[in-house]
Protein backbone atom coordinates (compact mmCIF):
# COMPACT_ATOMS: atom_id res chain seq x y z
CA UNK A 1 0.00 0.00 0.00
CA UNK A 2 1.21 3.49 -0.81
CA UNK A 3 2.59 5.38 2.13
CA UNK A 4 3.40 9.04 2.78
CA UNK A 5 5.17 9.96 6.01
CA UNK A 6 5.65 13.50 7.19
CA UNK A 7 7.93 14.79 9.92
CA UNK A 8 7.85 16.37 12.31
CA UNK A 9 4.18 15.98 13.19
CA UNK A 10 4.24 19.36 14.90
CA UNK A 11 6.62 22.25 15.19
CA UNK A 12 6.56 25.50 17.15
CA UNK A 13 8.81 28.36 16.07
CA UNK A 14 9.14 32.11 16.51
CA UNK A 15 8.47 34.65 13.82
CA UNK A 16 11.50 35.08 11.61
CA UNK A 17 12.71 31.51 12.01
CA UNK A 18 13.32 29.24 9.03
CA UNK A 19 11.64 25.84 9.04
CA UNK A 20 12.09 22.66 7.02
CA UNK A 21 9.27 20.17 6.73
CA UNK A 22 9.92 16.65 5.51
CA UNK A 23 7.96 14.17 3.47
CA UNK A 24 9.04 10.67 2.51
CA UNK A 25 7.02 8.36 0.34
CA UNK A 26 6.68 4.83 -0.94
CA UNK A 27 4.47 4.42 -3.98
CA UNK A 28 4.33 1.74 -6.61
CA UNK A 29 4.56 4.10 -9.59
CA UNK A 30 5.44 7.62 -8.57
CA UNK A 31 4.13 10.45 -10.72
CA UNK A 32 4.16 13.63 -8.64
CA UNK A 33 4.38 14.97 -5.11
CA UNK A 34 2.28 17.88 -3.98
CA UNK A 35 2.33 20.22 -0.99
CA UNK A 36 -0.80 21.81 0.40
CA UNK A 37 -1.43 24.28 3.23
CA UNK A 38 -4.49 23.62 5.38
CA UNK A 39 -5.67 26.41 7.61
CA UNK A 40 -9.23 26.34 8.88
CA UNK A 41 -10.75 24.14 6.22
CA UNK A 42 -9.70 23.36 2.68
CA UNK A 43 -6.20 22.35 1.63
CA UNK A 44 -4.82 25.04 -0.65
CA UNK A 45 -2.31 24.07 -3.30
CA UNK A 46 1.30 25.17 -2.89
CA UNK A 47 3.57 23.13 -5.19
CA UNK A 48 3.62 20.13 -7.46
CA UNK A 49 6.98 18.42 -7.98
CA UNK A 50 7.61 15.86 -10.67
CA UNK A 51 11.29 16.12 -11.50
CA UNK A 52 14.12 15.46 -9.13
CA UNK A 53 16.43 18.27 -8.07
CA UNK A 54 14.41 21.17 -9.45
CA UNK A 55 13.43 23.66 -6.77
CA UNK A 56 10.01 25.24 -6.89
CA UNK A 57 9.77 28.62 -5.23
CA UNK A 58 6.97 30.98 -4.29
CA UNK A 59 7.93 33.92 -2.14
CA UNK A 60 9.31 32.63 1.16
CA UNK A 61 8.29 29.04 0.39
CA UNK A 62 10.34 26.60 -1.61
CA UNK A 63 10.33 22.89 -2.17
CA UNK A 64 12.51 20.26 -3.77
CA UNK A 65 12.12 16.60 -4.61
CA UNK A 66 14.68 13.79 -4.43
CA UNK A 67 13.32 10.84 -6.41
CA UNK A 68 16.33 8.66 -5.66
CA UNK A 69 15.91 8.96 -1.90
CA UNK A 70 12.10 9.22 -2.14
CA UNK A 71 11.59 12.41 -0.19
CA UNK A 72 10.76 16.06 -0.47
CA UNK A 73 11.30 19.06 1.76
CA UNK A 74 9.30 22.24 2.12
CA UNK A 75 11.23 25.26 3.37
CA UNK A 76 9.69 28.39 4.79
CA UNK A 77 12.05 31.29 5.46
CA UNK A 78 11.37 34.32 7.68
CA UNK A 79 8.22 32.69 9.06
CA UNK A 80 5.21 34.82 9.92
CA UNK A 81 2.23 34.10 12.18
CA UNK A 82 0.14 33.70 9.03
CA UNK A 83 2.23 30.66 8.12
CA UNK A 84 0.65 28.80 11.04
CA UNK A 85 -1.23 25.88 9.48
CA UNK A 86 -1.08 22.20 8.79
CA UNK A 87 1.18 21.44 5.83
CA UNK A 88 0.14 18.39 3.88
CA UNK A 89 2.23 16.30 1.56
CA UNK A 90 0.51 14.09 -1.00
CA UNK A 91 1.62 11.85 -3.85
CA UNK A 92 0.05 10.83 -7.14
CA UNK A 93 0.55 7.27 -8.28
CA UNK A 94 0.88 7.05 -12.06
CA UNK A 95 -0.52 3.53 -12.03
CA UNK A 96 -4.05 4.83 -11.67
CA UNK A 97 -6.33 6.28 -14.32
CA UNK A 98 -6.75 9.54 -12.47
CA UNK A 99 -4.79 11.89 -10.24
CA UNK A 100 -5.85 10.52 -6.89
CA UNK A 101 -3.89 11.96 -3.96
CA UNK A 102 -2.54 9.90 -1.08
CA UNK A 103 -1.90 12.21 1.85
CA UNK A 104 0.43 12.12 4.79
CA UNK A 105 -0.78 13.05 8.26
CA UNK A 106 0.56 16.57 7.94
CA UNK A 107 2.88 18.80 9.95
CA UNK A 108 1.22 21.28 12.30
CA UNK A 109 3.29 24.44 12.21
CA UNK A 110 2.73 27.09 14.86
CA UNK A 111 4.53 30.40 14.44
CA UNK A 112 4.52 32.52 17.58
CA UNK A 113 5.03 36.29 17.48
CA UNK B 1 -10.02 33.17 -9.69
CA UNK B 2 -12.05 29.98 -10.35
CA UNK B 3 -12.79 27.92 -7.28
CA UNK B 4 -14.54 24.76 -6.20
CA UNK B 5 -17.69 25.52 -4.22
CA UNK B 6 -19.45 23.19 -1.83
CA UNK B 7 -22.82 23.31 -0.12
CA UNK B 8 -23.85 23.13 2.60
CA UNK B 9 -20.91 24.15 4.74
CA UNK B 10 -22.34 22.24 7.69
CA UNK B 11 -24.95 19.49 7.83
CA UNK B 12 -26.35 17.77 10.88
CA UNK B 13 -28.31 14.61 10.27
CA UNK B 14 -29.78 11.76 12.25
CA UNK B 15 -28.28 8.31 11.97
CA UNK B 16 -29.94 6.35 9.19
CA UNK B 17 -30.93 9.41 7.18
CA UNK B 18 -29.76 10.08 3.65
CA UNK B 19 -27.61 13.11 2.90
CA UNK B 20 -26.51 14.70 -0.34
CA UNK B 21 -23.41 16.84 -0.42
CA UNK B 22 -23.10 19.17 -3.37
CA UNK B 23 -20.13 20.53 -5.25
CA UNK B 24 -19.55 22.75 -8.25
CA UNK B 25 -16.09 21.94 -9.62
CA UNK B 26 -13.97 24.35 -11.65
CA UNK B 27 -15.59 24.53 -15.06
CA UNK B 28 -12.86 23.28 -17.40
CA UNK B 29 -11.65 20.53 -15.09
CA UNK B 30 -11.90 16.91 -16.15
CA UNK B 31 -11.41 14.93 -12.94
CA UNK B 32 -13.58 15.18 -9.88
CA UNK B 33 -12.97 13.74 -6.43
CA UNK B 34 -14.40 13.34 -2.99
CA UNK B 35 -12.13 13.13 0.03
CA UNK B 36 -12.97 13.04 3.68
CA UNK B 37 -11.15 14.02 6.83
CA UNK B 38 -12.27 12.67 10.18
CA UNK B 39 -11.40 15.11 12.95
CA UNK B 40 -7.73 14.87 13.81
CA UNK B 41 -6.96 12.37 11.08
CA UNK B 42 -5.51 12.57 7.60
CA UNK B 43 -7.31 13.42 4.41
CA UNK B 44 -8.54 10.19 2.80
CA UNK B 45 -9.51 9.51 -0.79
CA UNK B 46 -13.06 8.31 -1.37
CA UNK B 47 -13.73 8.34 -5.10
CA UNK B 48 -12.65 9.82 -8.41
CA UNK B 49 -14.92 10.54 -11.37
CA UNK B 50 -13.90 11.03 -14.98
CA UNK B 51 -15.78 11.01 -18.25
CA UNK B 52 -19.09 10.56 -16.45
CA UNK B 53 -18.13 7.48 -14.52
CA UNK B 54 -16.26 6.39 -11.42
CA UNK B 55 -12.61 5.82 -12.29
CA UNK B 56 -11.47 4.67 -8.86
CA UNK B 57 -12.92 4.22 -5.40
CA UNK B 58 -11.46 3.38 -2.03
CA UNK B 59 -12.51 0.71 0.44
CA UNK B 60 -14.36 3.39 2.37
CA UNK B 61 -16.63 4.03 -0.61
CA UNK B 62 -19.02 1.13 -0.05
CA UNK B 63 -22.59 0.60 -1.25
CA UNK B 64 -23.84 3.34 1.05
CA UNK B 65 -22.07 5.92 -1.07
CA UNK B 66 -22.81 7.10 -4.59
CA UNK B 67 -21.75 9.98 -6.78
CA UNK B 68 -23.47 11.74 -9.63
CA UNK B 69 -22.81 14.47 -12.08
CA UNK B 70 -26.43 15.18 -12.99
CA UNK B 71 -25.75 18.15 -15.25
CA UNK B 72 -22.71 19.92 -16.66
CA UNK B 73 -21.77 21.64 -13.43
CA UNK B 74 -22.82 19.85 -10.25
CA UNK B 75 -21.09 16.89 -8.65
CA UNK B 76 -22.83 15.23 -5.72
CA UNK B 77 -21.99 12.69 -3.05
CA UNK B 78 -24.90 10.77 -1.55
CA UNK B 79 -24.70 8.76 1.64
CA UNK B 80 -27.76 6.54 1.75
CA UNK B 81 -28.06 5.63 5.40
CA UNK B 82 -25.66 7.61 7.54
CA UNK B 83 -23.75 6.10 10.45
CA UNK B 84 -22.11 7.86 13.37
CA UNK B 85 -18.70 7.09 11.90
CA UNK B 86 -19.56 9.02 8.73
CA UNK B 87 -19.14 12.23 10.74
CA UNK B 88 -16.27 14.04 9.04
CA UNK B 89 -15.32 16.93 6.82
CA UNK B 90 -16.02 16.04 3.20
CA UNK B 91 -13.97 17.78 0.55
CA UNK B 92 -14.76 17.95 -3.12
CA UNK B 93 -11.82 18.54 -5.44
CA UNK B 94 -11.29 18.90 -9.15
CA UNK B 95 -8.32 18.86 -11.46
CA UNK B 96 -7.57 19.40 -15.11
CA UNK B 97 -4.47 17.27 -14.82
CA UNK B 98 -2.12 17.03 -11.86
CA UNK B 99 -2.85 19.39 -9.03
CA UNK B 100 -6.29 19.19 -7.47
CA UNK B 101 -8.11 22.22 -6.11
CA UNK B 102 -10.28 21.73 -3.08
CA UNK B 103 -13.57 23.20 -1.98
CA UNK B 104 -14.06 24.57 1.51
CA UNK B 105 -15.66 21.35 2.65
CA UNK B 106 -18.93 20.21 4.20
CA UNK B 107 -18.78 19.29 7.85
CA UNK B 108 -21.15 16.37 8.29
CA UNK B 109 -22.27 15.57 11.82
CA UNK B 110 -24.31 12.41 12.32
CA UNK B 111 -26.17 12.26 15.63
Mean pLDDT of chain A: 93
pLDDT in tens, A39-66: 988 899 999 999 888 899 999 999 999 9
Confidence at residue A1, expressed as pLDDT on a 0 to 100 scale: 63
The size of the A-B interface in CB pairs under 8 A is: 62
Comparing C-alpha atoms, which of A54, A56, A53, A35 is closest to residue A44?
A35
Do the Cβ atoms of A15 and A9 come closer than 8 Å? no
Nearest Cα to Cα of residue A19 among A44, A42, A4, A37: A37
* Burial grade of B10 (CB within 10 A; 0-12, 13-18, 19 or more): exposed
Query: What radius of gyration do chain A's Cα atoms show?
Result: 14
Residue of A nearest to B35 (CA): A101
Look at residue B45 in the predicted model and tell me its pLDDT: 95
Peptide bond between residue B8 and the one before it cis (omega within 30 degrees of 0): yes
How many whole angstroms separate alpha carbon A36 and alpha carbon A58?
Answer: 13
Residue B105 DSSP code? -
Instruction: Please give the pLDDT value at position A79.
Output: 98
Task: Identify the closest residue of chain A to B3 by CA–CA distance.
Answer: A44
Q: Which residues of A fall within a CB distance of 8 Å from B91?
A: 42-43
Distance in angstroms between the alpha carbons of the first and the last residue of chain A: 41
Name which of B31, B55, B105 is nearest A42 (Cβ-Cβ).
B105
Name the residue in chain B with its Cα closest to that of A90: B43
Set of chain B residues whose Cβ sits within 8 Å of the Cβ of A42: 91, 102-105
* pLDDT score for B97: 81
What mean pLDDT do residues B52-81 have? 93
**The pLDDT of residue B7:** 97
Amino acid sequence: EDKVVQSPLSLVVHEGDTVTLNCSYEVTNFRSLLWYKQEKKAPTFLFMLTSSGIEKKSGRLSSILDKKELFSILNITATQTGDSAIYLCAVIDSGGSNYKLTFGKGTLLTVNP
Amino acid sequence: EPEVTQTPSHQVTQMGQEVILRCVPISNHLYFYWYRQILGQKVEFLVSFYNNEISEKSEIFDDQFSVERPDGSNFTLKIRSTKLEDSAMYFCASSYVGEAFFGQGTRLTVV
